């Protein structure tokens, strides 16, 4: 059983159902925005937005249906 299958199994226990993989263009937009915001939010740490972008962009991301008890939470896997 691979890592993703283990994660998906644990999510199912909490009622979270993975529905689809996020497309590359969306991942590009998400990682671009997040990396800039992280670097700008913590200027004292001298974070490199491009390095953060590179690490985030290499991650697989998925959309999921989540139970109401989680409200409007976002979960990226």
* pTM to 2 decimal places: 0.72
Contact criterion met (CB below 8 Å) for 49 and 39: yes
Which residues have C-beta within 8 Å of that of residue 28, sequence separation ≥ 6? 57
Residue 70: pLDDT over 90: no
At 67, the pLDDT band (50, 70, 90 cuts) reads confident
* pLDDT value at residue 69: 81
Tally the residues of the chain: 77
- Domain locations in the chain as residue ranges: 3-70
pLDDT digits (tens, 9 = 90+) for 2-42: 766 788 888 898 888 889 999 999 999 999 999 999 999 99
């Amino acid at each position: 059983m691979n890592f993703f299958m283990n994660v998906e199994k644990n999510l199912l226990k909490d009622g979270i159902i993975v529905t689809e993989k996020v497309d590359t263009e969306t991942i590009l937009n998400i990682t671009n925005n997040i990396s800039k915001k992280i670097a700008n939010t913590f200027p004292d740490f001298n974070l490199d937005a491009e390095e953060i972008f590179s690490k985030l962009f290499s991650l697989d991301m998925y959309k999921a249906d989540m139970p109401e008890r989680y409200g409007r939470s976002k979960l990226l896997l």
